[in-house]
Structure 1
């Protein structure tokens, strides 16, 4: 396929070109899929780093200060932070300390909307990665089946003069597509699972912090509820 290229390639690309020449168009498609997957993985890692998806400590400190009755210190702990959880906590504190306050039920419903939007952003482009992980081995199997068909057709055409070495060569080339597909699928699947784990951890932290903010962590800190915290109980509001 790339026997005579008009432009010389860098030396590190020669093994890839040789692999495509041996495996044919199916391997070529798989190589393109691996490049796309690699680009998506780097983009997702950059997105997670810029979003501060694993920065939970500032929000936890802010929650502790808020529950101890110090909203100003709580807001200072998360002000200007880039972490997703810190941004959510800052929105909650600003809304709660705004003159006139905000209805806790409406505030909680709206902050859940914001959290869902941030989690959806973190999940962007995971579906194409998962699709590559599932499709690459199937495409490899398809290439293997096509290669086996060609090998047995050649054996049938040769009749009694079949050369076993030629047949074996055709079979291993056919199996090459499956090997390439698995080599792509296994690491991509592992990376997708790792991304999913980080997103689930972030979502759990969001749920825990938001719930503690509105309940005052009543089960753990019944004696230190902030005096201004509104508690919704039995459908009516009671000032603690």
Structure 2
């Protein structure tokens, strides 16, 4: 058989085969019901994770701005002992993590001092005001940090499970491709390449959902840890101030 005849036959076979399109729209139309279901699930997970990211970023930005404003004004209120104004300011700037914790601590200190100075009909005697303030700080700190972490667990779940959800769709698609190959009796890679390509789309989609979720989870977790450090440092400084309140600085004796 001459080379020209072989080339002509090959061209005839290639032209007889239908051209396969590997764009996403064509793959979506040729995907099975289960693969479409997996893609929809991944789409929902992606939208949810993006919503959590946006909401947390806005929340942390507002909390940081409110906390900075509260800390700046608190420096002028504490030396003049305007504790009621400091508590009112904390309720006004309630978005800030520092205003939530320090405001409750100042309120507890003010109430404790008033309770010690007055005697009620069911008075139980003296108590440690600083210990009461520390307990108030612990309560408010736990609630504040828990509120800051809200949504991060779901974001971590999306980041860890999205690749497996996509892999499930890929496995189901490959099984379908091999079943079609067995039903038609055709063999070779060419007969299953289209089905495998369609199946791998779900894995790629799963990775596309998981990678941003994991990256943002780590970033947001670091933001929460930084704010938790700010809470602890500021609360300790406030307790130290209360312990030294009313005591004058030691003066050097004149020689």
**TM-score (norm. length: structure 2):** 0.67
Partner in structure 1 of residue 146 of structure 2? 120
Q: Determine which structure has the larger helix proportion and give its number.
A: 2
Partners in 2 of 1:31 and 1:18 — Cα distance?
A: 18
CA contact (8 A) 1:62 1:78 kept: no
**Counterpart check, 1:26 vs 2:7:** no
Distance 1:126 1:17 in 2: 33
Q: Deviations over 1:76-98 (max 9, x none)?
A: 59823231202322222233344
Structure 2 residue 166 is the aligned partner of structure 1 residue 147: no
Whether 2:246 is the aligned partner of 1:227: answer yes
Q: Secondary structure at the match of 2:105?
A: helix
Displacement of 1:72: 2.8
Q: Report 1:1-240 matches (<5 A).
A: 20-21=28-29, 22=31, 23-50=35-62, 52-53=63-64, 55-61=66-72, 64=75, 69-72=79-82, 79=89, 80-82=92-94, 83-98=96-111, 99-100=113-114, 103-159=129-185, 161-162=186-187, 164-216=189-241, 225-227=244-246
Uncovered stretches (5+) of structure 2, i.e. residues with no partner: 1-22, 116-127, 249-255
Distance 1:211 1:62, change over 3 A: farther
Task: Find the aligned partners of 2:105 and 2:24 in 1 and give their Cα distance.
Answer: 52
CA distance in 2 between partners of 1:30 and 1:187 (Å): 13
Aligned residue for 1:227, secondary structure, equals coil
The gaps in structure 1 that reach 5 residues or longer are 1-14, 219-224, 230-240
Aligned partners of 1:123 and 1:199 also within 8 Å = yes
* CA deviation after TM superposition for structure 1 residue 17, in Å: 6.8
* Cα distance in 2 for residues equivalent to 1:25 and 1:166: 24
